[in-house]
């Protein structure tokens, strides 16, 4: 890159840092809410023959089988067309429905919820039968076995897949720039419109995302070393 390109790179990098709080807010609020929703839904999903399980499966199929960008447009552009949504927008209590942030956040949350349902449901189904039988032998009920044995074991084993989903959600927040949200990618687009130098501008944005990804990978690696240590082969 030329000296001018390096200057644009550093100015864009600093500009992208201004959008960092919004990127982190979107990412972590979505994955945390997705985690809260996905755990009970994954338990239902694991019960294959029930009607609620079929409903959860249909929900997961829709959000994992359609592009996230389409889902964002569906919520951001589609739902405000309904009269009952427009009526809610007129009330002070639901004034947040006028903000694009809410609809983008909702799409991100439901999308990550669907993927987490599949991750946690698979971990629940792969729980060793010996652990379940041991709980029953101690006189635990089915719900107690689920709460105290199955879920803790499944969530620990699902940690690597969960970390990948968090990283994917971080990168997916770049789509929010299509809806006038000025997170990291949105700030880079502003700089590109001012400089008309896309290469240094988007290299700067990519650098920010790479740094965030490295930090997340490091933190999840620490968590895996702590909570999955019992799964590693012992050396004598």
Q: Per CATH, which fold does 21-181 belong to?
A: MetI-like fold (1.10.3720)
Give the N- to C-terminal CA distance of the chain in Å, as an integer: 53
pTM above 0.95, yes or no: no
User: Which tokens belong to 130?
Assistant: 């010996």
DSSP state of 232: S
Q: What whole-number distance in Å separates Cα of residue 178 and Cα of residue 79?
A: 17
What pLDDT does residue 69 have?
Answer: 95
Query: Per-residue pLDDT for the chain (236 aa), expressed as one digit of tens each?
Result: 565 889 999 999 999 999 999 999 999 999 999 999 999 999 999 877 788 999 999 999 999 999 999 999 999 999 989 999 989 888 888 888 988 999 999 999 999 999 999 999 999 988 888 878 888 887 787 788 888 888 888 888 899 999 999 999 999 999 999 998 999 999 999 999 999 999 999 999 999 999 999 999 999 999 888 877 656 655 54
> DSSP string covering 87-127, please?
HHHTSGGGGGGGSHHHHHHHHHHHHHHHHHHHHHHHHHHTS
Q: Give 181: exposed, middle or buried? Use CB within 10 Å, 0-12, 13-18, 19+.
A: buried
What pLDDT does residue 229 have?
Answer: 66
What pLDDT does residue 22 have?
Answer: 96
What would the pLDDT profile of 138-157 be if each residue is shown by its tens digit?
778 778 888 888 888 888 88
Q: CATH 1.10.3720.10 region(s) of the chain?
A: 21-181
Q: What whole-number distance in Å separates Cα of residue 189 and Cα of residue 203?
A: 12
What pLDDT does residue 130 have?
Answer: 83
What would the pLDDT profile of 19-51 be if each residue is shown by its tens digit?
999 999 999 999 999 999 999 999 999 877 788
What pLDDT does residue 234 have?
Answer: 55
What pLDDT does residue 182 have?
Answer: 92
C-alpha pair distances (Å), 103 with each of 37, 109, 129, 194, 227 = 17, 10, 42, 28, 35
Do 213 and 173 contact (CB within 8 A), yes or no? Answer: no
What pLDDT does residue 230 have?
Answer: 59
What pLDDT does residue 24 have?
Answer: 96
């Amino acid at each position: 890159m030329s000296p001018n390109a390096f200057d644009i790179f550093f100015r864009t990098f600093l500009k992208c840092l201004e959008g960092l709080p919004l990127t982190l807010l979107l990412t972590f609020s979505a994955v945390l809410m997705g985690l809260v929703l996905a755990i009970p839904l994954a338990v239902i999903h694991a019960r294959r023959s029930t009607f609620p399980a079929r409903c959860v499966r249909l929900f997961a199929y829709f959000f994992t089988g359609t592009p996230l960008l389409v889902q964002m447009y569906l919520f951001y552009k589609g739902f405000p067309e309904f009269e009952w949504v427009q009526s809610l927008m007129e009330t002070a209590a639901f004034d947040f429905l006028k903000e694009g942030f809410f609809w983008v956040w909702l799409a991100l949350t439901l999308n990550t919820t669907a993927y987490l349902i599949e991750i946690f449901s698979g971990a629940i189904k792969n729980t060793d039968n010996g652990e379940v039988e041991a709980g029953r032998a101690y006189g635990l009920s089915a719900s107690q076995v689920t709460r105290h044995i199955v879920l803790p074991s499944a969530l620990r084993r699902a940690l690597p897949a969960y970390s990948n989903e968090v990283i994917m959600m971080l990168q997916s927040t770049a789509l929010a720039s299509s809806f006038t949200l000025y997170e990291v990618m949105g700030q880079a687009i502003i700089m590109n419109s001012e400089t008309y130098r896309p290469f240094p501008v988007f290299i700067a944005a990519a650098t920010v995302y790479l740094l965030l990804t490295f930090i997340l990978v490091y933190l999840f690696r620490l968590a895996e070393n702590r909570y999955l240590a019992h799964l590693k082969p012992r050396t004598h």
